[in-house]
Structure 1
Amino acid sequence: MSESFKVKDGDQQLKEGAALASIAVSSLMTAAKLVAGLLSGSLAVLSEAGHNLADIGATTLTYFAIRIAHKPADDEHQYGHAKVEALAALIETGFLFALAAFILVEAVRRLGGHPAEIEASPLIFGILFISITVDFFRWRRLKAIARRTKSEALAADALHFSSDMIASLLAIAGLVAAQFGFPQGDALAALGVAGFVAVAGFEIGRRTIDALVDAAPKGLADKVASIAASVPGVIKVETVRLRPAGPEVIGDLEITVARTLSLEKVAAIKVNVAAEIKAKHPDVSVTIATQPIAVDSETILERILLIAAKRHAPVHHVTVQEVEGRTAISFDVEVDGRMPLGNAHEIASGLEDEIGREFGSDIEVESHIEPLEPRQLPGRDADPDVRAEIESALFQRAHDQGALLDIHNVRVRRTPSGLVVNYHCRVDPALSVDEVHDQVDALERKIRAAFKTISRIVGHAEPAR
C-alpha cells in the first residue's frame, strides 16, 4: 500500500472515531440537560436539551455520511462520494433552523403570558458547567480533526459544540436572573439560544452550499494559474476550473504550448505542471489539457517540417530563397518507391498546397519526389576480396580529397538491390555540417562510379580527436 493511501485510511479512521465519540457525548449531554430542564422548568435549559437531541440525529447522520464519502468512485459516481459529507451538513442546517424556530415560538409565548416558575438547584448549575467543559474540549478536538481531514460534516459538528457552549452560558444567565426575581430572564435567554442556533445553522449552510454548488476556494484558481504559467514551455494559461470534492480540490487546466514541440516534450511539460501544483497545493488535483499555437519565434523550416509531420510526409533538403521580394521554397519529399506516380504526385501537391496556405498565396512552392525503400532487405556479408577492394578504394579516394581522415569500420553487404556499403571516418571538428556533407557526398559519387554494383553508401563522420 502506498504512503498516500495509508494517510487517507488513517484520516478516515480518525474521522469515524471522532463522529462516534460525538454521538456518545451528545447522548450523555442530552440526557443530563433534559433532566435539568424538567427539574428546573427552564425553557433555556430545555432548549439546550432539544439542541443536543438534534445534535444526536445530526451526528449520527455525519457518521454514516463519512463512511459513504470514503467509498471509491464507481460507474454512477465517477468523481467519488465526497459530497455526501456536504449533503449531511446541509441536513444538519435544516435541523438547526427548525430547532431555532421552535425555541423562538416558545420563548415569545412565555414572554407574552405568565412567566413559568423556575427552580434552579446546584445540581442544575453543575450539569450546565460540566456541559460547557465537555463542549469546549469536544469543540477543540473536532475542529482540529476537521481541519486536518477537510471534513465538512465534522466542521459542522465542531460548530455545533461551539454554539452549545454559548447556549449553555445563556441558560445559566437565565437561571440566575430567575433566582433574583426576574423570571422573564429565562425566556430571554432562550431567545439568545435560538439566535445562536440560527447563526450556527447559517454558517454551516453557507459553507455546505458552497461545496454543493462547486464554489472554488477563493483565490486558489489564480494561484494555480500562476504556478502553471511559471513552468518552462507553458506559453499561457487559458482556463482554470476548480471545485471542492471532500478533502480535495479537483479541476481542469488548459495551457498553450508551441505547436512545434514533440509529443514527448508536451507530455513532459504536463507532468512538470502537475508536479509544481501538487508541491505547493497537495490537495489540488487537476487534469491538464494542452492547446498548440504558433509562436513568433518559429522559423520557416520549423513551420514546413511541422506541416510535413502532420501529413506523415518525410521531407529533407528544404531550401528557402528570397527572390525579388518573393519567398521560394523547395524540398524533397519521400514516398514509397512502389507507389504509382499519380498517388505520389497527389501527396506532394497536397503538401505544397498546405504550405502555401500557411505562408500565403504570394509564395512559390516546389517539391521533388524521391523514392523511399520501405522494405527490409535480406543481406549477407560480401566476399572478403570484394570488401577489401572497396575498402582500398575508400582509403585512396578519401586521401585524395584530404578532408576525410581515418577510414575505418568498413562493412559491405550483398542485397537483392545491390551492394550496401557502410563506413566511418574522422574529420576536423571545426568543419561545418555542410562542408562535411559535401565531402561525404563527393566520396560516395566516386565510389559508386567505380563500382556499378553498389546501390547505397552510408558514411558516418566523427570528429577527429
Structure 2
Amino acid sequence: MSSDSKNNRSIAEKEKRFVAMTSVLAAVFLTSMKIVVGLLTGSLGILAEAAHSGLDLVAAGVTYFAVRLSGRPADAEHTYGYGKVENLSALFETFLLLVTCVWIIYEAIQRLFFTSVEVEASFWAFLVMGVSIFIDFGRSRALSRAAQKYNSQALEADALHFSTDIWSSAVVIVGLFFVRLSDRMDISWLAKADAVAAIGVAVIVVYVSVQLGRRTIKGLVDAIPPGLQDQLVRAVKVEGVLDVKQVRVRKSGPETFVDVSLVVKHEMAFEHAHIISKDAEDAIKKVLPGADVLIYLIPSRSESDSIFSAVRRAASRNDLSIHGIRLYNAGGERTLELHLEVSELLRLDEAHQQASDLEAALNKSLPGIDHIVTHIEPTGEKTIQRDSTPEDERMLIEALNSLPGEIGLDFQPHEVRIHRTNGELSLSFHCLMDEHIDISRAHALTEQMERLLRAKVDNLGRVIIHTEPDHQENF
C-alpha cells in the first residue's frame, strides 16, 4: 500500500471515529434528559423514548468500538480484514431494538387496559422532545454523510437509529398533545393517547429494526444486491475475453472484494493477457468504485487440446512415451493417430500388448473417437550387437562428407561430434538450410540424411542433426 493510500485511510478512520464518538455523547445527553423528564411527567411515551435513546447509547457505543476494530488492516488470521465486525455490531443493535419494542408494547397494553397512570403533558415534556428532534436530526445527517462517504454499515445503522428517533419523538409529541387536550376538554379517553403513541414508537422501531436486521444478515452471509452479478459479467466482457467462468462478490464492512475468472486464448502473450486483466479490473471498479479486485485468467482449450491432454495422461499412467499425436475428422468418423515409443529389447508381441493396453485405456476415456491407430517405434535403447571399430568411424566421416552431393544440398557439416558408447557410434552435427524453408521440408531432409548415413555405416546408433537458418541463403 502506498504512503498516500495509508494517509487517506488514516484520515478516514479518524473521521469515522470522531462521528461515532459524537453520537455516543449525543445519546448520553438525550437519554439522561428523557429519563428525568419522563419520570417527572409520568409519560410512558417519553419513557419509551428514553429507553429507545438508551439503546441508541448502547448502539452508538458498539458502533464506536466496531469502527475502531474494523479499521485494523488485514493480518494472517483475518485475511479479509475486520470489516465483518461492523455487520456483527449492526446485528447486535437490531437485537437490542427488538427487545425494547417488546417491553414498550407490553407496558402500553397494560396502561391501555389494566392500569391507570397520570401523565403530565407539561412544557418541559414538549421541550425535551423538541430538543431531541433537533439533536437527532443533526446526528442522523452527520452519520449518513460519513456512512455514504466511507461505505460503513455500522455508521449507517447508527444513522438509522437517530433518524427513527425523529419520527418516534414526533409521535410522542402528538400523544402529549392529545393528553393535554383531554385535560382542557375533559375527554378522558384522550389521556390514553400517550400509550397509543408509545405503541406507535414501537411499531416504527420494529419496522426499522427488521429492515436493518435483514441487511445485516445479508452482509454476514455474503449476499449481494439482485442483478449485480449480471452487471459485473457484462462489464468484464472486455476485448479479448472469450468467456466469464465465475464472478464472486463479498463485502467486509466498508470493503468490497471481487473475484473474477476469465477465459482468454491459450496462445496469448503475457503482455496482452495483462492488458485484458487491467481492462477488466477497471470495468469492475466503474460498477463498484474502490473494490478490491482479483482477476484469474484461464487459458482456453479447444476440443483437440483436451483430447491430446487425455492421451498424454493415459500414456503417463501406463509409463509409456508417445509423440506425434494427430486427430482426423473425415466422413463423419474421428481417427486418432499416435507414435508409441517402446524399448528395442521387447519382442513384437510384447510391444503390441503395450499398444493394445494404451488403446483400451483411450477407448474408455475418449468414447467419441471411432478409430485409434498406434505406430510402434523403438526408442534406440538396444543392446549393441558388435563393437564399432576405427574403420566404422572413418566410414562415418566419409559418408557425412558425401551428404551434400547426394541430397543436392550445398552445405558443410560443422560442429561434428562422434561418440563411442558401449561399442556403438553416435553422431551429432549442425547444418545450414535456407531460412525460408518450411519445417516439414527441413525435417524430411534430415531424415534423408539419416537414412543415407545408416545405409553406409551398419553400427550407427543415435543420430542428432541440428538445422540452422542460413541467412546467406546457401541452400
Structure 2 length as normaliser, TM-score?
Answer: 0.70
CA contact 1:307–1:354 (8 Å) conserved in 2: no
From the superposition, tell whether residues 329 and 191 of structure 1 become closer, same or farther in structure 2 (CA, over 3 Å): closer
| Alpha-carbon spacing, 1:285–1:106, altered in 2? closer, same or farther (3 Å) | same
Q: Among residues 371, 378, 381, which one is paired with 1:363 in the alignment?
A: 371
Please give the alpha-carbon distance, in whole angstroms, between the structure 2 residues aligned to 1:340 and 1:151: 76
**Residue number in structure 1 paired with 2:120:** 117
For residues 196 and 325 of structure 1, what CA distance do their matches in structure 2 show? 72
Gaps of 5+ in 1: 374-385
* Cα distance in 2 between the residues matched to 1:324 and 1:142: 73
Letter of the structure 1 residue corresponding to residue 229 of structure 2: A
> Helix, strand or coil for the counterpart of 1:333?
strand
How far did residue 411 of structure 1 move?
Answer: 1.0
Alpha carbons of structure 1 residues 242 and 421: separation in structure 2 relative to 1, 3 Å: same
User: Counterparts of 1:414 and 1:397 in 2: how far apart (Å)?
Assistant: 16
2:399 is aligned with 1:398: no
SS in structure 1 of the partner of residue 56 of structure 2: helix
- The equivalent residue for 2:135 is 134
Q: Does 1:211 align with 2:219?
A: yes
Whole-Å Cα distance in 2 between the matches of residues 94 and 115 of structure 1?
A: 31
Report the Cα distance in structure 2 between the residues aligned to 1:14 and 1:443, rounded to whole angstroms: 81
Q: Which amino acid aligns with 2:53?
A: N
- 2:64 aligns with 63
Distance 2:39 2:380 in 1: 98
CA offset digits 1:40-72 (Å, max 9, x no partner): 554433332221111111222233344555565
Bigger mean CA deviation after superposition, 437-446 or 316-325: 316-325
Q: How does 1:91-170 map to 2 (within 5 A)?
A: 91-110=92-111, 113=116, 115-121=118-124, 125=126, 127-170=128-171
In structure 1, give the amino acid aligned to 2:132: S
AA aligned to 2:121 is I
| 1:308 and 2:312 matched | yes
- Write the letter of the residue equivalent to 2:120: E
| 1:10 positional shift | 5.5
Displacement of 1:174 after TM fit?
Answer: 4.1
Compute the displacement of 1:8 (Å).
Answer: 5.8
Q: Which residue of 1 aligns with 2:46?
A: 45
- Please give the secondary structure, in 2, of the residue aligned with 1:311: helix
Contact 1:97 1:198 in 2 (8 A): yes
What letter corresponds to residue 51 of structure 1 in structure 2? H
Structure 1 contact 248–285 (Cα < 8 Å) conserved: no
Amino acid at match of 1:220: L
* SS of residue matched to 2:122: coil
Q: AA paired with 2:59?
A: A
Secondary structure of 2:166 counterpart: helix
* 1:201 paired residue number: 209
Q: Do the aligned partners of residues 213 and 432 (structure 1) sit closer, same or farther apart at CA in structure 2, a change above 3 Å counting?
A: closer
Q: Write the distance in 1 (CA, Å) between the matches of 2:448 and 2:462.
A: 16
1:90·1:209 contact (CA, 8 Å) conserved in 2? yes
- In structure 2, distance between residues paired with 1:249 and 1:320: 47
User: What corresponds to 1:90 in structure 2?
Assistant: 91
Partner of 1:223: 231
How far off its partner does 1:205 sit? 1.7
Structure 2: runs of 5 or more not aligned: 382-392
Looking at structure 2, the residues matched to 193 and 302 of structure 1 have their Cα atoms a distance apart, in angstroms, of 66
CA distance in 2, matches of 1:228, 1:342: 57
CA distance in 2, matches of 1:321, 1:178: 94
Give 3-state SS (helix, strand or coil) of 1:216's partner. Answer: coil
Distance 2:330 2:33 in 1: 98
State the one-letter code of the partner of 1:223: Q
Q: Which amino acid aligns with 2:153?
A: E
CA shift digits 1:96-154 (9 cap, x unpaired): 12323333344455555465222114xx6555444333322321222233334443332
* Cα distance in 2 for residues equivalent to 1:153 and 1:322: 63
8 Å contact from structure 2 (residues 338, 375) kept in 1: yes
What displacement does 1:7 show?
6.1
Corresponding residue for 1:426?
A: 433
**Residue 264 of structure 2 contacts residue 297 of structure 2 at CA under 8 Å; is this kept in 1?**
no
Take 1:341 and 1:333, find their aligned partners in 2: how far apart are those partners?
13
**1:162 deviation in Å?**
0.5
Displacement of 1:349? 3.9
- Quote the offset at 1:93 in angstroms: 1.7
Alignment-mate amino acid for residue 155 of structure 1: E
- TM-score when scaled to structure 1? 0.72
